[in-house]
Amino acid sequence: MGAPPTRPPEEAAIPEERPNGPHDHPFESSDLPVDGDEGADPDPSAGFVWTEDDDAEDERWGLTTEAGVVGTGVPPVVAVVVARDPGAWFEDTLRSLARQEYDECSVVVVDNASSTSIAERVGRVLPHARMVRRETDDGFAAAANEALAFVDEAPFILLCHDDVVLGREAVTALVAEAFRDNAAVVGAKLVDWRNPQVLLSVGLGVDDYGAAAELVDPGELDQSQHDQARNVFAVSTACMLLRSDLFRSLGGFRVDIPIVGEEVDFCWRTLIAGGTVQFCPKAVVRHRSRFDERRPIDRDHLAVRHQTKMVLANVELRRAWYRVPLSLTLALFHTVASILLGRFQRAGDDLSALGRGLLALPRTFSVRRSIRRFRRSHDREFEPLRHRGSYRLASLVRTDDGENRLAAATEGSRSYFRQLTSSDSPVATALVVVTAAILFIGTRRLFTGEIPVMREFVDGAQGARALLGEWWTAWRAAGLGESTVPPPVVPGFGAVSGVLLGSVDLARRLLVLSPLLIGGLGAWKLFSRSRSTAARAAAVSAYALAPLALNALGSGRLQALWAWAIAPWFLRRVAARAEASPFTPPSVRRSGWFRHVAGNALLLAVVGAISPAGAALVALSTILLAVGPFLAGERRPAVRMVVATIGGTVGAAAVLAPWLAASVRSGDLSSVTGVWFGRMKTPSAADLLSGSYGPVTYGYLGWGLLLAALVPLLIGRSWRWTWAFAGWLVALGSWAGTVALVERGWFAGAGVELVLVPAAIGLSVAVAMLAFAFNEDVVGSNFGFRQIVSGVGLVALLLSFVPALVGASDGRWYLPAGDYSRALNLVARGDDFATLWVGDADVLPVAGWELSGGSGLAFGLSEGFEPTITQRYRLDGGAPVQQIDRALSAAMVGGTARLGQALAPMGIRYVLLVDRPAPEPFAPLEVPPPLGAESALREQLDLDQIPLAPGASLFQVDAAWPLRSNVTGLELPGGGSASLAEQLASPAVPAPPAVLGLGPGTSFSGELPAGAAVAQAVTADPGWELTASDGTIAERSDLFSWGQLFSVGPAGPATLEWRTPQSSRGLQAAQVAVAIVLLAAVLRRRRAPVRRVRNVERPVDFDKPAPRRDVQRVDLDVPPENSPVDPT
Amino acid sequence: MRFVRLLAVLVVTAAVVGLLLWLPDSTPPERVALDRPTIPAVFESGAPSATWYCAASSFGTPEPPAHEVVLTNSSGSSASARLTPFGETAPAEGVTVDVPANGATTVDLAQTFLTTGLSIVVESPAPGLVVEHRLSDATAADQVPCATLTSDLWWFPALNSSRGATALLTLFNPFPTDAGVDVEVVLDASARTPAELSGIVVPPRSIKVVDVGAVVQRRDVFAIVVRSRSGRVVAEATQFFDGSAAPRGLRMNVGVAGESPRWVFAGGFTGEGVAETAVVVNPGNERVSAEIRVTPYGGSATAPEPIVLDIPPLRYGLVDLSAEGRIPPIGYHSVTVETDGAPVVASLLTTITGPPAAPADPAAPAPDSSVRPALGSGVGIATGSPVAAGFWIVPALDASAVPAPVVFVHNPFSTPVNVAVVPIDAGLDPAAQSEATTEVEIQAHDSVALTVPAASVAGQLVGLRLSAMAPFVAERLVTYPGQDELATGSAVPGRSERSGPVLLPALRPNG
């Protein structure tokens, strides 16, 4: 299909005169558009800059102007302009193409699904141009691939955006450069649309991880510093000359990288194919470059995602083995660093990119195969073109204005700090710094030191796989096992461990320590939109240095820590969206309600995954705090806060539904709340109010915080007063609830700290109001009562931090430096047995069931000696727990001397009686067991006491059975024994041999003899099936009224496996679906007024031209029927 | 606004004050005590099994004595029990015996296991099974309930090493690990741990017999405490009096595994030829003042003034009740030992050196059990009870002995109690048993003595089940056919699933 000349011959004249010097620019400033006048472009093809070197080179290639470069005999070029709803500038773009001095340049305009046809506009300027109409916008890459249809027409294709203006000699220069350097891809020098002295792009630097950055700084002036043609790694697609044959060989752009990064990928593949990418300084192109205004996309998000794709697909195999893991590690580091810096969106982008990269692995392999076919050069050959280091890491310190130089970023940070320290409240600034310092110093030994397994600081079991497996199989290792979908924290812990390359310890450390950072940041960000450093400082110091978090950390209360950590974030989110003062400035753009509620739900679900009661308390305190705006006359914000919180609670409940349902069905109140009855020391109300309920004792100084919080009630006005009142309301409610629970002994497990979380957030809000009130209501007024009270409040607040300062000297907030595992590991290791923990519910590291008989003791089970996160959450435990309860209760009062005989078939090899959360010398005695409890265990005839650390009495059960044993020779009565009494009356038997492996799990295989009877020490459940080699399923029967026995037929290999019930699968599916919907809603970008780019995920065969899409070809000379273009 | 502001501050302040008043004090962890009586006790129901430890198997005579175990089943269904013997070496194979419903079985260990010198562990799925063991030879016998617990502390408040007396201590370790034991001797003026009695190792699942009398010589009264350095044991003392310096007889004495501020002896007696001595040991580090109250049967309203005993730390004190003029010279009485709260250990020693005095009037009826046992000699020791219970089991006895065995029932509280007395006699069908059931009313702080009824089948053992709506204390006095021998001691308190024996609260005769 021949292309008619694109311009009249008279316009093809070579410029008579060249610019006078290298600094003369082809675009005169007087001709440049101003704002609002973008379409009024002057002559866009003004002169260009030539250098003597270029002339010599051109002469060598016969491209000198004297030799008639322009005109007949030059290779044809097809300019492909991808346009989508272009603005008034589009005509300038077209005109600049029409005025090209290059003779053989035809134009194809690809209308990428513009909302209104642009054919008429094209026809007016370029009547001979060809139009290709795409009905859907699949991104720039797909649209640019339309050029594949024209590769046979010309050796070169010129890709252009719809917002560029080419200098008259641009095409000539690009073609000349392509010949001169034998380049496959040539990019133009992009300059600013309005100010051509400002450089926009002279090529792209790309690092080892696919991240690209412009080789010029933003705002860099063109002073000929980039006027040397050179090889680069990539150039912009804004104006890119391609060799047609290579374009066809590569299959065009990857359509799964539709935008942002498509040029890097294409150039990368060009380099792989043996081509070169060249920057041509002679081709000067003005670029409007306001893409974000036209199409609101998240560049960072897409960039990260596409970088992952590029690295996975393009890196040579011989380098992929270290480059890909390195890239993953970098991404993880970047994620963590982003979180630490409070850039959660970036962290989310990283995680999203990783997830998508993993999901797209099959397609990645397909792309790699395609690349292997055209690979002509190794990565090392274009290694010099790469950027050393990591753009992404540098971006961590990038300032918001887009500066991407580390030095500039450092400067930005410095200026931020200058701004902070030069604020009108140096005291506030100092307070923030001191708070952070105290937190850091006080926690320093926990960063690398031992975090004991005690109370709720549980272990991570056997690793990510085991934890994720518990969710997938819906068989929990709590008690002797139970068929339940575990609480989300279990798979969550596993997932984090997996992301951290299987490091359970690091995941656990994050689980325990990150709340301190999250909560502190949350308090700092709570009033961030108020622009009051003083209020923010007051809030963060009152929240982070208050007794709750430090004592929760020091005494092993994970539920309280997480509820505390999330509470300020939740309040900030809800109050800001509700537009309550002072949380929202009027100019903030807000997300949709569904998205907002989904975010609320996810936040509460994070808390609820660890502490359902904690999530409820966070929601409840937020609802109560709505009293603040309500009393201030902001009724609608108050109602919105309540509605949003309730909506979030419902959503979170949906995510947590499987565990909540199980708790309601077969648990008790403690199963849901994590709060149990205990006999530990009960603090007085004064202790609770002043913070003297944990290892960090505040004493009288703790009252300072209350005093400070009381001040805004005395001096505050308007919303300062109402928020302070609401804070007090929440705090009083929290204290009242805590006192009520403490009085009844119901504060074991989660501890008083959990119930005091609302008090912490309430006081923090009230203290922040003190700062607000001081600024708004006190400063400027005459000296008097308000000033005095404010001063007293400030002093009281500062004094209340002294105990935290003292406590910080410990370096670990008095958290014990060791746990029972040290001593227990000397006794035995492994998980092929169970341990029965006995003690007060508050000192056990597992969730305890209260022992019958009113002794106040509780008991729990762990696999091996290591209590895991699963075992911190319990339901009723089923028949085995009832059996243990009966036997242990009887033993405690002398009702049996054969406790071991009852426990042995359960695989319980050890009984451990503890009176403190960690042994001496790490922890003092906290709750002594009842008098006679240890004696009761010592007088059991089949328990042998093993000396252990003070604080723990360890007993070994005689002849404990393996978890799966061959009991063929034991002559057990039918069904074992109907009652505990019968079981105990039977003569003691030796431990039977183990079969089907030793450890716990849900699938076991092994050889079994013919006629074997296999006993399994788990809660009896029909979901367990033992399948013989011939496919027959062994008969299952009850054993000892709690376990199960399989009667095996033929000898041979057999498999004992847990079959997940369909009901559990349904719950899991519902849980995942709800989580995905909420996540999708939250991650969904704000809908733009124009259609957004779809990320097309279709396989591409790079050896073939891209499949033609539903395009409409319009020959403007012969308009089709019903064409809106007027041929006249 | 000013009013609202003031009101809010007042409300907040009032709320804070209210909270402070609501929970004014911090309380340390409450340390509860498990319901574990320190004397042998039996579950009526609710326990999955019963375990009894019968330690002593000899009392120092050249010939090994007969050693019998008496198993009493007060339930309506038969029960099985497994007897596992332990000697000075490894345990032999055990045997299982059946005990008829509402009846008793006697197992002669020598016949069953074909050896002597055995300690026995009796285990049964029937929680209500009561196990006693009896040692006897031709001239002496005694029987006591076996222990229901092991301990690392055993008190023996009243031993005797005078001329003609042996004092053997049997240490029984039923556990699979060694036990290390020290025996501390408490005298009236000193306390010490003799080297011979220090660091005694009792190998696993075996017994060790220690001749305490050989170490602590020629003492009319001394106390010992057995402390385990490691492991736990069951300790039982046997004392044989050969008649050279005192009446011939045998005292078996299961140790007391714990102290108590109150001890009740439901039955004691004085009279001609009877010597009764109360021994109280103060195990603490401070001086203790113990009050010994003797209440004659039927005379609670006119009880004599209590005897006050001042006991130094780690010493014992004793009172010869038969020499106390304030105590009626004849008849049964209960004895209560009570301190001001300091825990002590008490025993009541009884020695019969002659028959009851003949009545001055030959026409008067002969002395009978309502006055004192019509025995001419015998020694007995009672440990008393620190608890009261709603039901008691009197293990099966040979009721054909003359004089007949007697059961003492004491009401330590200030309200009357009706006690139902049900015979445990395998020969009685339920209807007959119901007919044989009697009810006895016991006034406040008073006691009654019940004669064990004759067996429905000659030669059969008979026990009693005593029950009431309120707690009380029971003791029994055993006599043996053809022997002038006395055995006294507590009956076995019962425990139910819901409540066990209650530790005796402060007892006031007229309170």
Across the A:B interface, residue pairs with CB atoms under 8 Å apart total: 164
* Nearest CA-CA partner of A459 in A493, A496, A425, A501: A493
pLDDT in tens, A480-506: 999 999 999 999 999 999 988 889 999
Nearest CA distance, A474 vs chain B (angstrom): 34
Confidence of residue A3 (pLDDT cuts 50, 70, 90): very low
Indicate whether A686 pLDDT > 60: yes
A896, A932, A981 ranked by CB distance to B51: nearest: A896
pLDDT digits (tens, 9 = 90+) for A443-463: 999 999 999 999 999 888 778
pLDDT (tens digit, 9 = 90+) per residue, B330-370? 888 999 999 988 999 999 999 988 887 765 555 555 544 45
Does the pLDDT at position A922 exceed 80? yes
pLDDT recorded at residue A455: 93
* Preferred mutation among B2, B11, B25, B36 to probe A, highest tally of A CBs within 10 A: B36
Q: What is the pLDDT of residue A60?
A: 55
Q: State mean pLDDT over A649-659.
A: 95
The nearest alpha carbon in chain A to B42 belongs to A895
Q: Which of A350-359, A541-550, B157-166, B169-178 has the lowest mean pLDDT?
A: A350-359
Contact A926 B29 (CB under 8 A): yes
DSSP category for residue A996: S
Which residue bears the tokens 């003779």? Answer: A103
Q: Do A932 and B46 touch (CB under 8 A)?
A: no
Is the model more confident about A114 or about B363? A114
**How far is it, in rounded angstroms, from Cα B228 to Cα A922?**
29
Cα angle, residue A1067 at apex, residues A1065 and A1073 outer, rounded to 5°: 100
**CB neighbours of residue A660 within 10 Å:** 19
Q: What is the pLDDT of residue A989?
A: 82
Of residues A1104 and A629, more confidence is placed in: A629
Determine whether the interchain pair B16/A688 forms a contact, defined as Cβ–Cβ distance below 8 Å: no
CB A715 within 8 A of CB A772: no
Structure tokens at B213: 């009398």
Tokens, residue B384: 């008393």
Task: For residue A32, name the pLDDT band (cuts at 50, 70, 90).
Answer: very low
**Which residues in A463-480 are b (16+ Cβ under 10 Å) and which e?**
bbebbbbbbbbbbbbbbb
Region B63-71: what's the mean pLDDT?
93
Average pLDDT of span B359-385: 70
Does residue A67 register a pLDDT over 60? no
Alpha carbon distances (Å) from A693 to A520, A738, A1100, B195: 21, 12, 64, 51
The pLDDT value recorded for residue A37 is 41
Whether pTM exceeds 0.90:
no
- Listed in order, strand segments (DSSP E) in B28-128 are 42-43, 50-54, 66-73, 79-86, 95-99, 103-108, 119-124
B210 confidence band (pLDDT: 50, 70, 90): very high
Query: What pLDDT does residue A40 have?
Result: 39
Picking from B5, B10, B32, B498 by the largest number of A CB atoms within 10 A of its own CB, the best residue to mutate is: B32
Whether A902 contacts chain B with CB within 8 A: yes
Mean pLDDT for all residues in chain B? 88
Per CB-CB distance under 8 Å, the chain B contacts of A686 are 20, 24
The residue with greater pLDDT, B500 or A281, is A281
Window 697-736 of A, Cβ < 8 Å to B? 706, 710, 713-714, 717, 721, 725, 728, 732, 735-736
Q: Identify the pLDDT of residue B20.
A: 95
- Whether chain B has a CB inside 8 Å of the CB on A856: the answer is yes
Reading the block at residue A688, the tokens are 């609770």
* Cross-chain Cβ contact B34/A931 below 8 Å: yes
Residues above pLDDT 90, as percent of chain A? 49
In the block, residue with structure tokens 């006078």: A20
pLDDT tens across A706-717, in order? 999 999 999 998
Q: Tens digit of pLDDT for each residue in A124-149?
A: 888 888 888 888 888 888 888 888 88
Residue that the structure tokens 């100092």 belong to: A430
* Residue range A506-534, pLDDT digits in tens: 999 999 999 999 999 999 999 988 878 88
Nearest chain A residue to B173 by CA: give it.
A941
pLDDT at A18 over 50: no
Q: How far is CA A1038 from CA A833, A974, A1042, in A?
A: 21, 9, 7
Predicted pLDDT at A310: 87
Q: Per the CB < 8 Å rule, is B151 touching A939?
A: yes
pLDDT level of residue A1 (50, 70, 90 thresholds): very low
Output the pLDDT for position A8: 37
Round to whole Å and give the CA distance between B120 and B105. Answer: 15
Question: Is B149 in contact with A939 (Cβ distance < 8 A)?
Answer: yes
**Cα distance between residue B56 and residue B68, in whole Å:** 11
| Interface with chain A: mutation pick from B4, B13, B19, highest number of A CBs within 10 Å | B19
B123·A898 Cβ contact <8 A: yes
pLDDT at A799 over 90: yes
Beta-carbon separation of B15 and A732 below 8 A: yes
Token duo for residue B336:
């209560």
Contact: B36, A979; criterion CB under 8 Å: no
pLDDT digits (tens, 9 = 90+) for A151-190: 788 899 999 999 999 998 899 999 998 988 888 999 999 9
- Summarised one tens digit per residue, pLDDT across range A215-230 is 888 788 888 888 888 8
Which residue from A478, A476, A472, A664 is spatially nearest to A1068, judged by alpha carbons? A472
**What percentage of residues in chain B have a pLDDT greater than 90?**
54
What pLDDT, in 10s, does the model give residues B108-131? 999 998 888 899 999 998 888 999
Predicted pLDDT of residue A72: 53
Single out the residue of A709, A713, A719 nearest to residue A776, CA to CA. A719
DSSP A899-938: HHHHHGGGTEEEEEEESSSS-TTTS---SPPPBTHHHHHH
Per residue in A1044-1074, pLDDT (tens digit) is: 999 888 888 999 999 999 999 999 999 999 9
Contact yes or no for A897 and B177 at CB 8 A: no
The residue behind tokens 């007229």 is B510
Question: Residue A393: its pLDDT value, please?
Answer: 67
Q: Evaluate whether A1041 touches A978 at the Cβ level (below 8 Å).
A: yes
Average pLDDT over residues A548-561: 96
Kindly report the length of chain B: 511
- Residue window 967-1006, chain A: list those with CB within 8 Å of chain B: 979-985, 987
List, for residues B214-262, the tens digit of each pLDDT value. Answer: 999 888 899 999 999 988 999 999 999 988 887 888 999 999 998 999 9
Best residue in B7, B44, B49 to probe A by mutation, most A CBs within 10 Å?
B49
What does the block give as tokens for A247? 């374009």
**Can you state the angle between helices A785-800 and A533-544, rounded to 10 degrees?**
40
Minimal C-alpha gap between A532 and chain B (Å) = 24
A846 close contact with B: CB closer than 8 A: no
Tokens of A318: 């011989």
Supply the pLDDT for residue A705: 95
pLDDT at A698 over 60: yes
Q: CB distance A682–B26 less than 8 Å?
A: yes
Give the residue-averaged pLDDT of A252-265: 89
Tell whether the model's pLDDT for residue A592 goes beyond 90: no
pLDDT on residue A654? 95
Across A67-81, A330-344, A728-742, the highest mean pLDDT is recorded for: A728-742
pLDDT score recorded for residue A1095: 41
What b/e string do you get for B209-228 counting C-beta neighbours within 10 Å, with b at 16 or more? bbebbebbeebbbbbbbbeb
Query: Hey, is A823 helix, strand or coil?
Result: helix
Contact A682 B27 (CB under 8 A): yes
Look over chain A and give the mean of its residue pLDDT values, rounded to a whole number. Answer: 83
Q: Which residues of A touch B17 (CB under 8 A)?
A: none
The closest CB to that of B26, out of A684, A710, A892, belongs to A684
Instruction: Dump pLDDT digits (tens) for A885-912.
Output: 999 999 998 889 999 999 999 999 999 9
pLDDT at position B1:
61
Residues 871-900 of A with CB under 8 A from B: 886-887, 890, 892-898
Q: What is the pLDDT of residue B16?
A: 95
pLDDT at A1061: 94
Rounded to 5°, the CA angle B314-B320-B322 comes to 160
Q: Is the pLDDT of residue A555 over 60?
A: yes
Distance in angstroms (rounded) separating the CA atoms of residues A115 and A102? 32
Structural tokens at position A181? 């350097």
Q: CA-nearest residue of chain B to A929?
A: B31
pLDDT in the model for residue A586:
55
pLDDT of residue A543 exceeding 90, the answer is yes
Which residues of chain A from 922 to 941 reach within 8 Å of chain B, CB to CB?
926-928, 930-933, 935-936, 938-939, 941
User: Which residue in the set A689, A710, A928 is minimally distant from B31, CB to CB?
Assistant: A928
Q: Which residues of A touch B146 (CB under 8 A)?
A: none
- pLDDT score at A166: 92
pLDDT surpasses 70 at B460: yes
Of A739, A856, A896, the CB nearest to B19: A739
In this prediction, residue A407 carries a pLDDT of 52
Pick the residue from chain A with its C-alpha nearest to B53: A897
Phi, psi of A359, rounded to the nearest 5 degrees: -65, -30
Assign B42 to helix, strand or coil. Answer: strand
* Residue A644 near chain B (CB below 8 Å): no
CB of A1052 within 8 Å of any CB in chain B?
A: no
* Mean pLDDT confidence for B21-28: 91
What are the CA-CA distances from residue B485 to residues A1108, B401, B460 (Å)?
Answer: 118, 11, 20
Is A373 an 8 Å CB contact of chain B?
no
